[in-house]
Structure 1
Amino acid sequence: MSDELWRWSAERTARSIREKEVSAAEVVAASLARLEATNEVTNAFGEVADDALAAAKGADAATTRGDAVGPLHGVPTAFKLNTPVAGRPTPDGVAAYLDNIAAETAPALTRLLDAGAIPVGRTNCPPFSTRWTTESEHFGITRNPWDPAVTPGGSSGGAAVAVATGVVALAHGNDIAGSIRYPSASCGVVGIRPTVGRVPLWHSPPGWGVPLAVQQFGVEGPLARTVADLRLGLSVMEGPDPRDPMAVPVRHLAPGPEDRPVCVAMVTDPGDHPLAGRGRRETDDAVRTAGAWLADAGYEVEEVELPALGEAATLWWRLVLTEFRVGGLVAEVHRVGDAGIRRFYDLMYAVVEEAVGEVSFADYVAAYQRRALVRRQVAEFMARYPILLLPASGEPPFPLGGDLESVERARELMTHQWPNTAVPVLGIPGLGLGVTPTEGAPLGVQLVGRAFEEEWLFQAGEVIQQRSALTVPIDPRRP
C-alpha cells in the first residue's frame, strides 16, 4: 500500500511533526488535496477552511522554535457543521441558519484546537441533526463511500465519511441517538459516544440554556480510523470546562488482571416493546461474528436477552419527542426546515403517537422516574457483564431517502434503531465500529460499557478491529 500522508494515523502524524520528519504544512496540504479529490463524490464537507495552511505554517514555526506543543499538533481534523466555531455560521443543515454567526467556539472544539489540531473543514449533517442519514436540500446528499446508494449514517455522516476516505484521521461528532456510533459502523470506522459529563458540551443560542434532552442524552466525541486514534481524541476532548457545569474530572478506569476474563453480554433481542424489536439475520450475524472474535481473545461471551434495553429505547421516544414538541423544535422544523426533514418529523410523531399515545406532563415526569429505575436495572446487570455487545442497528445501512417512505417503514426503522436510542437514556458510553464487509456498506456493532469505563470498550474494540477484514481509508465509489 502506498504511504501518502493522508493515510497516516493521527498518532503517527503528530509524532512525525514533533520529530520534524514531516511538516504540518505538508500534512495539511495533503489533507486538503484529498478533500478536493473526494468531496465531489461524497459531499462530506459543507465548508472548507481557508486558513488551514496558514495555521499549519504557524504550527511549523512553533516546532522550529522548540515551543511546547499539544498531542495533536499539526494534525488535520474536521469539525461538524452543527457545532459553534467563533466567527462562523452554525447552520445545522438548515439554509435559514446560514446567518447564525457563532460568538464563541464550543468547549469540545476548543480543546481540540488547544491540543494543536488544525481543522481543514466542517462536515455535513442533516437538518436539525435529527435523521439517520445525512441529506438536506441546501447542503445536498452525503454519500457512503462503500455504497453511494445507502446512508452513511447520521447525523455525523459527513464526519464518518471524511475519516473513511482519508481526508482526516480524526473528526469531531456528537450523539444524542446514535449520531456518532451509527455513522461510524456504517462507514467502517470507529466512533465513541462518551459517558455523559466526560466531554464538555454547550449547545445553545446566546442567553439560553441547554435543552434538557441535550443535557441528559447528548454528548460530544471523536471518530477515527483506529481505536488508538479514538483513545487519543477522547483524551484531548475530555475534562471539566466552566461553560458546562455537568462536565467532570475523569478517572481513567481500565480492566486489570483481577477483572479477567471480562464478561460480555451479547444482545440481539431487546424484548417486546413498542419501539424496539429484533433485527434482521445479517445484523445479528455481525454481532455473533464479533462475539466469536472476543471469545477467541479470552473474553467470556454469553448471548442473553436484556428487556431493559428495549424499555430504554422506548423511553427515549417518549421523553425526547415530547420535549421537541413542547420546546418549540417541531414548530421550528415546519417553519424553516426543508421538505425532507418536515416529512421525517411527521412520520416520527405518527409512529410514536400510535405506539405510546399522547404524552401528558404527568406521563413525561413518570417516564423520567421510570428512566432512573431502568438505569439501575442495567447498572446492576453490568456489574457482572461490564461490556454489552449490540448491533449497530437492526438492519443494514438503508437506501438513501428510505426513512421518508411511509409510516410503516418509519416504524420499522425506528424499531431497528433501538441500540442507538437505548444507550443515551442510560447515560453510558458506546463504541460504534464496522465489523464485516459486504458487497455494499459494512455491517457493524456497538460495544457498550459502564460509566467512565471507555477504556474497556477501546480494548475490546481493538480485538475486533484486528480481526476484521475492513480496511480504511478507501477511495469512494461513484454513484
Structure 2
Amino acid sequence: MMKELWQLDASDLAQRIARREISCEESVESCLDRIGQVNPRLNAVVDQDAAGALREAQAADAMLARGEPVGPLHGVPVTIKVNVDQVGFATTNGVPAYRGNVAQADSAVVTNLRRAGAIPIGRTNTPAFSMRWFTDNALHGRTLNPHDVALTPGGSSGGAAAAVASGMGPIAHGNDVGGSIRYPAYACGVYGLRPTAGRVPAFNPSSTSERPISFFLNSVQGPLARSVADLRLALTAMSGADVRDPQWVAAPMLGEGAPPCRVALCLQAPGYRADQVVEQALRQAAGMLSDAGYIVEEVAPPRLREATDVWLRLLTHEAQLMFNDAIFESGDPAIVRAHQAMCELAPPLDMAAYLRMQGLRTALQREWAVFLQSYPLLLCPVSWQAPFAIDADLKGADAARALVDAQSPLLSTAVLALPGLSVPMGLAQGIPTGVQLVAARFNEARCLDAAAVIERRRGPVRVV
C-alpha cells in the first residue's frame, strides 16, 4: 500500500519534490490534513496559519517551475516551538500574559530553516516558561502523549515530540537546556538531537533582555524527527551562520562513515542505577553496536552526580534571580509549584559559591573531555526511569529531587555543553523506551552514525 505523504520522512519528501514527482503544496497540504485529524486529541500544535503555509508552498512550487536553485528542505513541512520568534505569530512561551507578543521577525533558527526551503506549518506547545519536563499551561492547555495519555509527552518540547510521533510533520524544532529535546523524544518514541552548544545559532529578535549566563551557555536549538537521516538534514539546515549569536561557531559538519570506536556503556553510576526496562534497552543497543564492530565496555563517566548538582545549583540560582518575578506574576499554578519545589532543592548562592560552581563546571568539562578521548561515544540512559506519569513534578520537593536524580544523564551533559542524541528503542508494554548517545563537543556525527546502526537493526519509527 502506498504511503500518504504525511507518513514520509523529510528526506523522502525533499527528493520527490526535487524530482517534481509531488508538489510542495501537496506535501504541506497532507501534513495540514493530518494535523486536522489527530491534533484535536493530542493538542501538540497550538497555533497555525494553514492558508499562509499553503501560500508559501505555492511560492516554493513557483521557484521550482522557474528552475531556481533550492535548499535541501525545499517544500518540507516543519513545526516550530512557541518559545521562538516566527514572524506574524505570538512568542507565547506558554504564558497567557505573552499572547500579544507577536514577532516582527524570525528567530535565527527559523531563518535558517526557511533558507533551507522548509515551510513552517504550525507552532508546538510547551509548558509555561519552558521550564518543566511536562507540557501543560494555562494558555494552550495540555499536550497528550500519543502512546499513553497517562504519561507525560515530555517537556519542554512536548508538543514537538508528539507532533512528530503522530505524523503532523516529519521534522520539529525544539530547544534543550536540561533535556527539553531529548526527554520528549524519549517519552514519545522518536529521535531528538541536542547539538553542541554553539552549533546552531539562537536569537529571538523580540527579546528585551539577555539570558542569564548559564542559560546562554547551556541552551541549544535542535531537531526532532522519525529518522536519523532527517536529523542530519535538519541539523545542517539549522546550523547556518548568524552573527546575532556570539556563541555560534563555524565548526565543520562532520560527515557520515567514521569507523566504529570504543563505547562506554553506563548502566549505573555512584548514586544511580537504571530501571530494568531502561537497562534492557541499553543492553540491546550495546549489543547492536558491538555486532557492528564497536568496542563496548561497561564504565561510567566521571562525577555524574557532581555535574548534575552543578546544573541544579547554577540554573536554579539564575532562574530565581532573573525569572522569579515573571513566574510568580504571570505563571500558571503548575509552573509556580514546580519552580518552588526546585528552589527548595537549590537555595540561592552567594557570589563566592556561584563562582566556585562555575569553576567546577569548567573542571568537569575538562574531565569529561579526557574521558571522551578514551571513549569517543557514551551510551547511557536518557532517564534512569521510564517516562513519568503526568504532573509528577507537582508533588513537592521530595518528588522534585527524585525527578532530578532520574534526569541526571540529561542535566549533566547539558551543563557540560555536550551533544546528546535520544534514540528510540521501541515499546515495552506499550511504553516508549530509548537510550542516549553522547560524544565530545561538535562530534554530533559520532552520535548520528551509531544511531544509524541501531536504526538499521531496529527498523523505522512507526507513526502512532
TM-score range, shorter chain: over 0.9
- Counterpart of 2:326 (choices 332, 335, 345) is 332
Show the counterpart of 1:477.
none
Asked if 1:462 is matched to 2:452, the reply is: yes
1:331 and 1:407 map into 2 onto residues whose CA distance is 21
2:213 and 2:103 map into 1 onto residues whose CA distance is 21
SS in structure 2 of the partner of residue 60 of structure 1: helix
Asked if 1:38 is matched to 2:28, the reply is: no
Asked if 1:311 is matched to 2:306, the reply is: yes
Show the counterpart of 1:173.
174
TM-score (norm 1): 0.93
Q: Against the structure 1 CA distance between its residues 113 and 254, is the aligned structure 2 distance closer, same or farther, given a 3 Å change threshold? A: closer
SS in structure 2 of the partner of residue 436 of structure 1: strand
2:96 and 2:17 map into 1 onto residues whose CA distance is 38
- Counterpart of 2:435 (choices 441, 445, 450) is 445
Show the counterpart of 2:71.
70
Letter in 1 for 2:46: G
Show the counterpart of 1:271.
270
- Counterpart of 1:352 (choices 332, 339, 346) is 346
2:421 and 2:462 map into 1 onto residues whose CA distance is 17
Contact 2:420 2:438 in 1 (8 A): yes
2:80 and 2:123 map into 1 onto residues whose CA distance is 5
2:366 and 2:270 map into 1 onto residues whose CA distance is 17
Show the counterpart of 1:219.
220
Within 5 Å, which residues of 2 pair with 1:388-467? 388-467=378-457
Contact 1:436 1:470 in 2 (8 A): no
1:397 and 1:294 map into 2 onto residues whose CA distance is 24
Q: Against the structure 1 CA distance between its residues 103 and 114, is the aligned structure 2 distance closer, same or farther, given a 3 Å change threshold? A: same
Letter in 2 for 1:466: R
TM-score (norm 2): 0.96
Contact 1:17 1:73 in 2 (8 A): yes
Contact 2:112 2:240 in 1 (8 A): no
Show the counterpart of 2:104.
103
1:256 and 1:36 map into 2 onto residues whose CA distance is 40
Show the counterpart of 2:6.
6
Q: Deviations over 1:199-249 (max 9, x none)?
A: 101247545323212221000011110000100000111132111121111
Give, in angstroms, the shift of residue 78 of structure 1: 0.3
Contact 2:106 2:205 in 1 (8 A): no
1:217 and 1:38 map into 2 onto residues whose CA distance is 34
Contact 1:6 1:27 in 2 (8 A): yes
- Counterpart of 1:341 (choices 291, 316, 335) is 335
Give, in angstroms, the shift of residue 115 of structure 1: 1.0
Contact 2:108 2:204 in 1 (8 A): no
Letter in 2 for 1:136: N
SS in structure 1 of the partner of residue 46 of structure 2: strand
2:346 and 2:273 map into 1 onto residues whose CA distance is 18
Show the counterpart of 1:201.
202
Give, in angstroms, the shift of residue 191 of structure 1: 1.2
Give, in angstroms, the shift of residue 304 of structure 1: 0.9
> Which stretch shows the higher mean deviation, 34-43 or 237-246?
237-246
1:48 and 1:278 map into 2 onto residues whose CA distance is 42
2:41 and 2:373 map into 1 onto residues whose CA distance is 46
Show the counterpart of 2:248.
247
SS in structure 1 of the partner of residue 79 of structure 2: strand
Q: Against the structure 1 CA distance between its residues 250 and 443, is the aligned structure 2 distance closer, same or farther, given a 3 Å change threshold? A: same
1:245 and 1:359 map into 2 onto residues whose CA distance is 27
Contact 1:34 1:167 in 2 (8 A): yes
- Counterpart of 2:297 (choices 299, 302, 305) is 302
Give, in angstroms, the shift of residue 438 of structure 1: 1.7
Letter in 1 for 2:268: D
Give, in angstroms, the shift of residue 471 of structure 1: 3.1
Give, in angstroms, the shift of residue 380 of structure 1: 0.4
Contact 1:144 1:441 in 2 (8 A): no
Show the counterpart of 2:366.
376
Give, in angstroms, the shift of residue 2 of structure 1: 4.2
Letter in 2 for 1:294: L
Letter in 1 for 2:282: V
1:54 and 1:362 map into 2 onto residues whose CA distance is 56
Q: Against the structure 1 CA distance between its residues 295 and 93, is the aligned structure 2 distance closer, same or farther, given a 3 Å change threshold? A: same
SS in structure 1 of the partner of residue 374 of structure 2: coil
Structure 2: gaps of 5 or more residues: none
Contact 1:92 1:127 in 2 (8 A): yes
Q: Identity across aligned pairs (percent)?
A: 41
2:392 and 2:260 map into 1 onto residues whose CA distance is 42
User: RMSD over aligned Cα, in angstroms?
Assistant: 1.6
> Which stretch shows the higher mean deviation, 429-438 or 117-126?
429-438
Q: Against the structure 1 CA distance between its residues 204 and 57, is the aligned structure 2 distance closer, same or farther, given a 3 Å change threshold? A: closer
Asked if 1:323 is matched to 2:318, the reply is: yes
Q: Against the structure 1 CA distance between its residues 255 and 16, is the aligned structure 2 distance closer, same or farther, given a 3 Å change threshold? A: closer
Q: Deviations over 1:132-163 (max 9, x none)?
A: 01111221111111111101111111111111
Letter in 1 for 2:130: S
Give, in angstroms, the shift of residue 178 of structure 1: 0.4
Contact 1:90 1:100 in 2 (8 A): yes
> Which stretch shows the higher mean deviation, 198-207 or 386-395?
198-207
Asked if 1:89 is matched to 2:97, the reply is: no
Give, in angstroms, the shift of residue 49 of structure 1: 2.1
Structure 1: gaps of 5 or more residues: 475-479
Q: Against the structure 1 CA distance between its residues 411 and 149, is the aligned structure 2 distance closer, same or farther, given a 3 Å change threshold? A: same
> Which stretch shows the higher mean deviation, 401-410 or 30-39?
401-410
Report the count of equivalent residues: 463
Contact 2:43 2:142 in 1 (8 A): yes
Contact 1:239 1:250 in 2 (8 A): no
1:209 and 1:138 map into 2 onto residues whose CA distance is 24
